[in-house]
Amino acid sequence: MNKRRITSKELAKLAGVSSATISRAFSPDSRIGSATRDRILAVAREYGYQPNAIARSLNNQRSRLVALVVNAIGNPCEAEEQQLLVHRLQARQLLPIILCCADHDDRLQLMRLASTYQVDHVVVFSDMVSMQDAVDIFHTTKPIIVSFEPLENEKVSSIRIDGSAAADEIIDKIVTDGKKRFAYLSGTKSSWIDKLRRKWFADALARRGLTLQAEAFGDYGYDSGFKEAVLLLHRAKVDTIICGNDVMAIGARDAARRVLGKNTPDDIAIVGQDGIAMAAWDCNDLTTLSLDHAAFIDAVMELIERHDAELEGPHSITLTCTARWGSTA
Amino acid sequence: MNKRRITSKELAKLAGVSSATISRAFSPDSRIGSATRDRILAVAREYGYQPNAIARSLNNQRSRLVALVVNAIGNPCEAEEQQLLVHRLQARQLLPIILCCADHDDRLQLMRLASTYQVDHVVVFSDMVSMQDAVDIFHTTKPIIVSFEPLENEKVSSIRIDGSAAADEIIDKIVTDGKKRFAYLSGTKSSWIDKLRRKWFADALARRGLTLQAEAFGDYGYDSGFKEAVLLLHRAKVDTIICGNDVMAIGARDAARRVLGKNTPDDIAIVGQDGIAMAAWDCNDLTTLSLDHAAFIDAVMELIERHDAELEGPHSITLTCTARWGSTA
DNA sequence: ATGCAGTGTGTAAACGGTTACACAAATGAC
DNA sequence: GTCATTTGTGTAACCGTTTACACACTGCAT
């Protein structure tokens, strides 16, 4: 019963043709008589034959595998995009391999492992991996790398994100509401995207002659948002906390309410970033600097399709964030 | 610069050995002089050589790829387990391919595609795919299938989950608190696991001479929890809603509070299932029938390792759920 | 009849590794 | 010094496809 999968040679014998003809029956546009093809497909169905994708990949130099480098699977701020991307890839018959690793060295190891599988594309969702590392690891092979970090390199296509206008809108509203002392709660210390996001808000404040009064660093998780907000509110008299993502914002909101007894938006304003679905839930109703996830994934797919079609070198797309209003600011 | 990856034959020439020796240098236990191996590894590093995993898989009949069939990536109730499993697989140098598809026919197509990649294992997290389909699609190849559904089949190992004791505990508490009229809000109509979970609670009620007064079906998402709870509370005078998962429970709690003005646990009791991290957040603080995710993934890995080690046929493991207390019931 | 384009099929060589087998050299036992 | 064993390496076949090339055949214009 542990029957080995039937091979094209065996099927060829059964159908009374050569294995080359079997192969042709499964390639849409190849010189083959339509009667022969129909007969082969019938026999194939009967014996449950399917061409072996591994062998095909070896020959083709095209694996149809795509490596997705992500920070985490559980974290909702990336999950929505991951989900969309996976669907889009699958629709193009591309199979996503997930690379997910907290530790830096392990991650490099993992990327090296994936590169031996001759993946056709690499999408780096994580801002924890340096683009230079990614290029070094994948440079001997074909894949184009799609990432946020705009590295000037012939192998890297990137998607730039601009949230400065939306940050300005949000700060405008908060200042109008009378808030005066702002804190920024970063996702991580080393993250490239986090620095960028912070700059949008810092610049928006600077334009009004204001500055950040306090700062803290978390890990993009709820608990860190909660804990850092408690410390922050004890340390500095701030009336606004801008958070690195929505999950930390929810943590900060809970901390303010539970530990300090402060409510949004009157006592304190809380701002998230990402615009995940959960932020709009009735119990959260977060004001957040939001990215259009569908548009983002459209952009990723556009870059991948460009590369598939062997259009020239890398390319870059810029997306603009919008403000999404809730009751927290 | 689009330099092709160097092959073992080329490296062999550079190192003055045969390609067989190159291969041996990269296999931990093979007859090779240690001086030769060191020299080869040095040259390999210099030229950035790594054995091609696709070619290796073709020869080995072992791809080190694992297909993960999931309902969704974004949904937190599965995400935590997915995350853990991915880490564990990666630690064993196994690469996870994610198959994620809402539509039934597409999902079968996708599974067929993955099966052509000669995956070594298949883990079916989704209860939306019938085990019989999975067996049919993967039966010509080696993989063992790990799933929840206890199908008696020599190719399927399964993990059974028993939450009856925990459900009993939870019902006990709720009844003691004076609640009398119970509703069950299912995740989906067709889900196998959902029927099982419902039965745990229905049995616990039956033991006390009680029955479910109302039922509804959602889709495991927040919005469906919210919407169905509103309809349910208008339709029937219930004082307890047991939900198919935590996310729907949060939706139901929000609906009760926002639309009906009912608070937990006094006006209404809400029970979730899964025990996701978010359920314990301060703003949720859900009472939930919880599964130990780490233990669950331990079990999955045990089944995979059994199969890797070519131990006999399939195997089955049973896990017990526990009650996790919050302020909603 | 002759030549030529077009069609359908088979043969054999890739693709990039692994490994059974063969064989030479080194080692050790007597 | 002989013989058996062990160790290290090369040769060649194989894993299951695809595809360049060759060839036979058809149909059609000359």
CATH number at residue A148: 3.40.50.2300
How far in angstroms lies nucleotide C8's C1' from the CA of residue A7? 22
Residues A274 and A131 in one domain: no
CB contact under 8 A, A283 and B278: no
Residue B307 has pLDDT above 90, yes or no: no
Find the helix packing angle between B222-235 and B246-258, rounded to 10°.
50
pLDDT score, position A119: 95
Residue A261 lies in a domain: yes
- For helices B104-116 and B131-138, give the axis angle rounded to 10 degrees: 30
* Res. A85: pLDDT tops 90: yes
> Sheet holding A182-186: strands in order across?
A212-217, A182-186, A240-243, A269-274, A287-290, A322-324
Q: Residue B17's domain is classified under what CATH number?
A: 1.10.260.40
Q: What is the mean pLDDT of residues B119-128?
A: 87
* A4 interface with B at CB cutoff 8 Å: yes
- Whether the per-residue pLDDT at B252 is higher than 80: the answer is yes
Same domain, residue pair A91 and A36: no
Cβ atoms of B317 and B292 within 8 Å: the answer is no
Q: How many domains does chain B have?
A: 3
pLDDT in tens, A169-204: 999 999 999 999 999 999 888 788 889 999 999 999
Number of helices (H) and strands (E), helices first, in chain A? 12, 12
Cβ atoms within 10 A of the Cβ of B132, count?
12
Same domain, B202 and B283: yes
Q: Do the beta carbons of residue B220 and residue B272 sit within 8 Å?
A: no
Contact A232, A238 (CB under 8 A): yes
What is the rounded CA–CA span in Å between residue A38 and residue A214? 71
N-term to C-term CA, chain A: 64
- Answer yes or no: are the C-beta atoms of A283 and B283 closer than 8 Å: yes
State what percent of residues in chain B have pLDDT above 70: 95
Residue range of the domain that includes A45: 8-51
Q: How many CB pairs under 8 A join A and B?
A: 156
Do residue B217 and residue B270 come from a single domain? yes
**Angle between helix B192-206 and B164-176 (nearest 10):** 50
Residue A203: predicted pLDDT: 97
- Asked if pLDDT for residue B286 goes beyond 90, the answer is yes
> Could you give the CA distance from residue B299 to residue B295 in angstroms, rounded to a whole number?
6
With contact defined as beta carbons under 8 Å apart, do A111 and A99 qualify? Answer: yes
For residue B20, the Cα-to-chain-centroid distance in whole angstroms is 41
Token pair in block for residue B176: 């003691």
Q: Which of A184, A166, A164, A182 is nearest to A287 (CA)?
A: A166
Partner-chain contact A250 B283, CB within 8 Å: yes
Instruction: Provide the CA A215 to C1' C1 distance, Å, integer.
Output: 95
Please check the confidence at residue B1 and state whether its pLDDT lies above 50.
no
Tens of pLDDT, residues B184-238: 999 888 788 889 999 999 999 999 999 999 999 999 999 999 999 999 999 988 9
- In-domain check, residue A58: no
What average pLDDT does this structure show over A93-114? 91
What is residue B316's predicted lDDT score, i.e. its pLDDT?
A: 86
The alpha-carbon gap from A202 to the nearest alpha carbon of chain B, in Å, equals: 29
Q: Which residue has the higher pLDDT, A57 or B4?
A: A57
Q: How confident is the model at residue A1 (pLDDT cuts 50, 70, 90)?
A: very low
Q: Are residues B206 and B247 in the same domain?
A: yes
Do residues A37 and A73 share a domain? no
The answer on B310 and B284 residing in a single domain is no
Q: Which nucleotides of D are covered by protein (CB under 7 A)?
A: 7-12, 14-20
Q: Determine phi and psi for B233, rounding to 5 degrees.
A: -70, -25
